[in-house]
Structure 1
Amino acid sequence: MTMSQQINLLTRRRTRKSLAWYSIRGVALLVLALTSVAIWNEFTLREQLALEKQTQKSIAAAKAVLDQKRRASGLEDADALAKASSAMRSRLDARRELVGLIDKGELGSLSGHSGAMSVLATISENEVWVRQFEVTKAGKSMVIVGNALSNEAVMRYANRLNEAFKAFGYQFSSMELSREEVSVGAAAAQKADLIKFKLY
C-alpha cells in the first residue's frame, strides 16, 4: 500500500485572487463613500455660507435702518445721548426746585387766591371802596388800598375784614390814612375831603 497525497496548488491561488479582489472593492467603496461625504460636506458648507451671507446682509440692512432712525431723531452717537440726558436731568431738577418752592408757599398757592378774593368781594361798607388788592409774601399777607369818606368807615371796614379773613390766616394790623381835598361841583368851586387808606 502506498499512500499518496494530492496537493492542489491552483486552489490557493484563487483564494489569493478573491481576497485581493475583495480588498480592491473595499478600498474602492471606501474611496467612493469618502468622496460622497466630501461632496455632501461641500454642498452643506456652501448652503451655510449662502445663509451666512444673507444673514450678514439682513444685519447690515437693519443697522442701516437703525442708523437712519438715530440720525432722524438727532441722536447720532452716545455723546448726543449723554448731552440730551444731562439737559433733561437739569430741567427735571429745576422743576423739582420750583415744586418745592410752591409747596413751601414761597411762590404763592397752587389753588390761587380766589377764596380770598371771593370773601373780599362779599364784604362791603358804606362810604368805602377798594381800588387795589394785592397778595404779598407768597400768600401770607394782603394789602388793600382804597378810598373812604370818613375815618370811622375805614375802621369799621378793617374790623369786618379781620373777622372775615381769620379763616385764611390774614390779620390786618397796620393802617395808613391820608386826607385829600377833591374839587366837586359844576365849577369845581367846592372842596370835599376824601380819605385814602392802605390796610396791611
Structure 2
Amino acid sequence: MRVLLVEDDILIGQGIVAGLRKHGISVRHVDTAAAAETAQLEDTFQALILDLGLPDLEGLELMTRMRRFEPELPVLVLSARDAIEHRLAGLQSGADDYLVKPFDLRELAARLHALVRRTQGRAVQTIEAGPLRLEPDSGLAWLGGEPVTLSRREVDLLVHLAAADGRWVSSDALNERLYGLGEEVSSNALSVHIHNIRRKLGAEAIETARGLGYRLGWSCSQ
C-alpha cells in the first residue's frame, strides 16, 4: 500500500513515515496543501492521511479539492483537534476516518488497511463528457449516442483524465496510473493510446500542452 501523508510538522511526519514502513506501508510525506496537490498529479496513492492545520490551506478544503481529482480516495484525518465538534465536522465533510493525536502507529496502520479494504469495491458508474458517455466498469462507450469500441487501456486513460476535472496531467503520471511501477512500458505506449482515442472520438477529445501534459477536451460530470 502507498499513501500520501500531509503533515506540516516535519518531526511528526518523519515518525509516521518510519513507523508505517515497519507495517509494510509506503508513505510519501508533504507538508503543504500545494505540495499535496502536486503529489496527487505525480503519483498514485491508495489513501490520504491528512492533518487539518496546514500553513497554506485548511485541511478539509484540501480534501474537497483532492476529491475532485479522485472522488473515491480514502481519507483519514489525523489531528490534535479532539473535540467532538471537530471530529463530527471532519466526518460530515467527507473524511472516512478521524484519528486524534497522540495515537498508536499500530492503530493508524490498522485503520489504513481497513479503509482501503472498504473502498476497493467503489467505482465510478458513468462518465459523461461532451458527446461521450462511458461506463468504466463495463468498458462500454457511446459518442453522440453511437457505440464506440475502446480498449481497456483507452478506457482507463479517459477515466483518469476525467477525474482530473480539467487539470493537466503529466505523461509520467498517466503512465504510472495506467501501468503501475512494475510493468515494462514502451516509450511511445501513451502516445499510441492518445492517437487511437483521438481517431475514435475526434481530435478534440484530448488536449495536449508542451510541459503540462494532457487533459480531457470536454467538461465532464461523473
Normalised by the size of structure 1, how large is the TM-score? 0.19
Identify, as 1 or 2, the structure richer in helix.
1
Normalised by the size of structure 2, how large is the TM-score? 0.18
RCO higher in structure (CA 8 A, sep ≥6): 2
